[in-house]
Amino acid sequence: MLKVMQLARWSIVVPVKTLIRAKTRLAGAAGPYRADLAVAVASDTVAAALACPLVARVVVVTADPVPAERLAALGAHVVNDPDRGLNAALRVGAAEAVQLAAGDAVGALQADLPALRPRELERVLTAALEFDESFVPDAAEVGTTFYGVRPGIAFRPRFGGESRARHLSGGAKELALEAIPSVRRDVDTVEDLKEAEALGLGPATIQIAPHILRA
Ligand SMILES: Nc1nc2c(ncn2[C@@H]2O[C@H](COP(=O)(O)OP(=O)(O)OP(=O)(O)O)[C@@H](O)[C@H]2O)c(=O)[nH]1
Ligand SMILES: C=C(OP(=O)(O)O)C(=O)O
């Protein structure tokens, strides 16, 4: 009898800061568009993740009703942020993901990847299934854009600042993959936004970016 191998699927946890505190490094350049930009980049990140065939669900963790409503409308499962910092928020999202589907792998994805391509995320998630714990460094090779664990493995995210070094020293496997620029291109500055634009922005961010880049 023919046996069909079932590849594990993923729950992807996306943390979204309260808008009043979001995208502060872009405050000068974005002016009145700062909050709209934060919602737009999170929307494009979540929509692209949901379009990836290996993603079974996206769990958004936020304390803010505005992104909560926008991201739920895209199909995300939204849980409340206990407001004890980024890694605590991610752990809450991961616990929810395990409640929803204990047999799925769990990943954390930064919310500021407005050029994210589902095909590139699929490459990352396929590679990540080969290791108990793994991560993708950001484009600057200082931070982290994705961290994930196989089903049943403890989820121990160490995001914040120079998180690449912390994920490495904690024993997570760095996924050194070609052809995943959109997964690594987080946006914290105007230069980052220009680079994301060059990769191709998602439909929400493409509406806002011209107000910031060509004001
Ligand atoms: N739910 C939640 N998400 C957070 C928290 N802190 C940061 N994040 C998210 O974590 C990712 C990285 O955030 P940061 O780079 O620290 O913040 P940012 O708003 O993108 O930019 P800056 O204000 O310029 O630092 C983004 O997806 C944020 O929305 C938190 O306390 N709770
Ligand atoms: C939180 C992080 O990123 P950034 O502050 O650069 O968005 C990180 O890379 O761990």
pLDDT at 215: 79
Residue predicted with more confidence, 45 or 2: 45
Specify the pLDDT at position 156: 98
Closest CA to 14 of 62, 66, 56: 62
Residue of 17, 23, 190 with the most ligand 1 atoms within 8 Å of its CB, for mutation: 17
Three-state DSSP class for residue 24: helix
Predicted confidence at residue 182, as pLDDT, reads 98
1: confidence class by pLDDT, cuts 50, 70, 90: low
Q: What is the mean pLDDT of the chain?
A: 96
pLDDT score of 4 more than 60: no
Whether residue 8 has pLDDT greater than 90: no
| 186 within ligand 2 shell (Cβ under 6 A) | yes
Regarding an ipTM greater than 0.95, the answer is: yes
pLDDT above 80 for 143: yes
Question: Which single residue is written with the structure tokens 């854009």?
Answer: 145
- Summarize pLDDT for 13-33 with one digit per residue, the tens: 999 999 999 999 999 999 999
* Domains contained in the chain, CATH given: 10-210 (3.90.550.10)
> b or e along 175-203 (b: 16 or more beta carbons within 10 Å of the residue's beta carbon)?
beeeebebbbbbbbebebbebbbebebbe
11 is in an annotated binding site: no
Atom of ligand 2 nearest to the CA of 163: 10
- Residue 121 has φ and ψ, to the nearest 5°, of -65, -35
Confidence class of residue 123 from pLDDT cuts 50, 70 and 90?
A: very high
Q: Quick check: 131 pLDDT over 90?
A: yes
The answer, as to whether pTM is greater than 0.90, is: yes
Q: Are 120 and 182 in contact (CB under 8 A)?
A: yes
Cα 77 to averaged position of ligand 2 atoms, centre (Å): 23
